[in-house]
């Protein structure tokens, strides 16, 4: 799977792509991560990519032409099934159901905004969908784009290695995780729950299931609301 991030800060994305499960997936050829910098497509020598908002107000707005050219260059990296997603607070909430939908594409172009945002005409003409990562404010689309790449990469066959599977990931079945323990058996007077030392794999599985349900009920009762939620189409 291909990811191309359109960003004024490619070094952020490059560093992210070198480590952990995403880094290993890249090394194995499972995913390809590239960046395109709108500054390289500016219309002037200075590399201007932003300008003041029509109508007035604080901050700057990312200009149409550098973005449109950058998106075209990003699209040109593949002939496969491509989706252009703009990371923005106005977008559809990014969640696990959407991860699976997006993983069906060959190429995701992730448009990361800075400043107050991007010219609306880019959203109307060049963007297929808008994604938000939650109801809080961050400084730009780069961290949200990394989050999207990370979440999707984890679901690709082979990304997690043989011992683990995406099916075991929390949220794959809509429940929170159970507690985890490792050596020593007692630390500062705190012991590991005895069932985990019992060798009774049936009892351990039952205990973990019970812990997952209890924690979900206590911390995220919304996740236990009956039935799977139907998902709207990511495009439009």
Q: Point out which residues bind ligand 9D3 (CB under 6 A).
A: 87-89, 113, 116-117, 132-134, 136-138, 140-141, 144
Residue 190 among the catalytic residues: no
Whether 131 contacts 87, CB under 8 Å: yes
Residue 119 among the catalytic residues: no
Whether 142 contacts 13, CB under 8 Å: yes
* Cross-strand partners of 61: 51
The residue from 24, 32, 39, 89 that is catalytic is 89
CB of 127 to ligand 9D3, least distance (A): 13
CB of 163 to ligand 9D3, least distance (A): 33
CB of 26 to ligand 9D3, least distance (A): 23
User: In whole angstroms, how far apart are CA 217 and each of 83, 176, 208, 226?
Assistant: 36, 9, 14, 13
- Comparing CB distances to ligand 9D3, the nearer of 107 and 114 is 114
- Comparing CB distances to ligand 9D3, the nearer of 80 and 134 is 134
The residue from 32, 116, 128, 177 that is catalytic is 116
Residue 77 among the catalytic residues: no
CB of 148 to ligand 9D3, least distance (A): 9
CB of 53 to ligand 9D3, least distance (A): 11
- Comparing CB distances to ligand 9D3, the nearer of 65 and 132 is 132
The residue from 101, 169, 177, 215 that is catalytic is 169
Whether 229 contacts 101, CB under 8 Å: no
Q: In angstroms, rounded to a whole number, what is the distance separating the alpha carbons of residues 202 and 161?
A: 25
Residue 116 among the catalytic residues: yes
- Comparing CB distances to ligand 9D3, the nearer of 139 and 182 is 139
- Comparing CB distances to ligand 9D3, the nearer of 33 and 61 is 61
Active site residues: 89, 116, 154, 169
């Amino acid at each position: 799977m291909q990811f191309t991030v359109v960003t004024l800060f490619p070094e952020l994305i490059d560093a992210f792509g070198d480590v952990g499960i995403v880094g290993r997936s890249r090394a194995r050829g499972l995913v390809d991560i590239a960046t395109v910098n709108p500054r390289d497509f500016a219309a002037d020598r200075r590399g201007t990519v932003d300008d003041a908002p029509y109508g007035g107000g604080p901050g700057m707005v990312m200009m149409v032409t550098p973005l449109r050219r950058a998106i075209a260059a990003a699209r040109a990296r593949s002939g496969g099934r491509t989706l252009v997603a703009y990371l923005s607070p106005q977008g559809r909430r990014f969640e696990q159901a959407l991860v699976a939908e997006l993983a069906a594409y060959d190429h995701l172009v992730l448009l990361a905004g800075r400043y107050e945002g991007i010219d609306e005409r880019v959203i109307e003409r060049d963007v297929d969908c808008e994604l938000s990562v939650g109801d809080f404010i961050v400084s730009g689309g780069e961290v949200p784009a990394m989050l999207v790449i990370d979440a999707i990469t984890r679901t690709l066959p082979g990304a997690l290695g043989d011992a683990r599977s995406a099916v075991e990931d929390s949220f794959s079945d809509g429940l929170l995780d159970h507690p985890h323990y490792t050596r020593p058996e007692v630390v500062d007077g705190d012991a590991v729950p005895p069932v985990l030392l019992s060798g009774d794999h049936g009892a351990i599985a039952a205990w973990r299931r019970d812990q997952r349900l209890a924690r979900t009920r206590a911390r995220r009762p919304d996740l236990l609301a009956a039935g799977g939620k139907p998902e709207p189409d990511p495009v439009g």
